[in-house]
Structure 1
């Protein structure tokens, strides 16, 4: 039995070479689970880490009954890790937070009140503690993405998100997908809510982002999204004789 089914909310935490952050993740996520307004669990997705992350993840999960993990055989990238987490989770809602804890799990409490009215509730980072270059490249990439997708989202790079799991499982996934979650879920005629959340400095580990995956990669992925959008299959079943109530 998939134990995430016992929870209303599964928080997906992709991990790639974050051994220096696992202890802090355990502490902050444990505190959050005790105070969460809904019954919640943690799902680590180890994206083929080459450091000691897997050992630390296993220890953390043994020590905390609401912590679970899956582990890739090799590094597949952030989009694959998020997709694997969504595919694995069987709770009513899934969430996502980065392992660097530049956002805090406490702020899920700002998003969760809207979960029944919106299929995707996401954060907008305020008072960002990133370098000038990082903030500038993010601003450029966000502006280009909004122009290409018309998704109306101010900060798609904010990792704090709460999604209805049935909608999340229908999102068409591709490499770089994590940058387009709002636009991709809107293809299902879903509604998106944006909520301001806090932002903090990275205290441990190293950023996995560079010029390619923060600026050039997103530009190329925008064209992939536009191509896919024109070919997206969407339908509604008007009638059937499969359901028991029709027999």
Structure 2
């Protein structure tokens, strides 16, 4: 069991068929893995019964905090809400569709000390057995290649929902709708170290993906241009000036 306390933020949209199993498994795994933990599930404007199920789970598990967005604001906004609600030095993220194995969060957390702010400042999960269809895999490879060229980003799987980073570092980054996809290049640009950990990707049991290749490509093009501009116009004299470590009480 790892010492220290970890917050795990789970953004959720239209996952009524998965959320019960996701939370139950996460509580079981994290109870054995961490000295203390808190799950913050942010329901992002679902149109099914996701919120009703989350509200019931909130009463069932004392480790769970459920927060609702009355209207859909997007994954990055849901993550930001969760990070704002967190009160730990380190925060992990995982998706609410059941494809992320919570044991991967424990594997990633084992690479750092949860009781202090140290290097690396970003632990990225990299899916070794992606269960997406062939079209999405090829689209992802193409997008990763363009991103690496423009942003000098060597993360092999920036879209993976499993990440671990200090709370204050995430909140210090400029917010935009697709921030979650650009954590590796932005973190590296600010001078922070990052590492990659192989993680398990499981098949979705219920529901459907929230993205299409065309929609992702169109939004990704403009996001890429914006992040490229932002990085060129952002200069930090020293990384320790970006945020001030807080006592973890």
Q: TM-score, normalised on structure 1?
A: 0.89
Q: Deviations over 1:193-217 (max 9, x none)?
A: 0011111111111110102343232
* Correspondence for 1:215: 217
Q: Does 1:81 align with 2:83?
A: no
Unpaired runs of 5+ in structure 2? Answer: 114-118, 242-249
How big is each residue's C-alpha offset from its partner over 1:138-189, in whole Å with a ceiling of 9 and x where there is no partner? 1111111111111211110111111111212211111111110111222331
Cα distance per residue 1:15-72 (max 9 Å; x no partner): 1111111111122112112112342110011111111111111100100000002211
Structure whose CA Rg is larger: 1
1:169 aligned partner: 171
Counterpart-to-counterpart distance in 2, 1:211 and 1:74: 24
User: Are 1:72 and 2:94 counterparts?
Assistant: no
**Deviation, structure 1 residue 238:** 11
Equivalent residue for 2:146, pick from 141, 144, 148 = 144
Q: Distance in 2 between matches of 1:171 and 1:139?
A: 26
8 Å contact kept, 1:44–1:69: yes
Equivalent residue for 2:193? 191
Q: Secondary structure at the match of 1:87?
A: helix
**Matching residue of 1:160:** 162
Distance in 1 between residues matched to 2:53 and 2:59, nearest whole Å: 10
Give the corresponding residue for 1:90: 87
Q: Give yes or no for contact 1:33–1:41 (8 Å, CA) kept in 2.
A: no
The Cα shift of 1:128 comes to 1.3
Shift of 1:237: 10
Sort the Cα spacing of 1:237 and 1:20 in 2 relative to 1 into closer, same or farther, 3 A.
closer
Q: Gapped runs of 5+ residues in structure 1?
A: 1-6, 240-247
**2:246 equivalent in structure 1:** none
1:39 maps to which residue? Answer: 36
Number of aligned residue pairs? 233
Structure 1 counterpart SS, 2:160: coil
1:53 aligns with 2:50: yes
2:245 aligns to what?
none
Indicate the residue corresponding to 2:131 in structure 1: 129
Structure 1 stretches (4+) deviating beyond 3 angstroms?
235-239
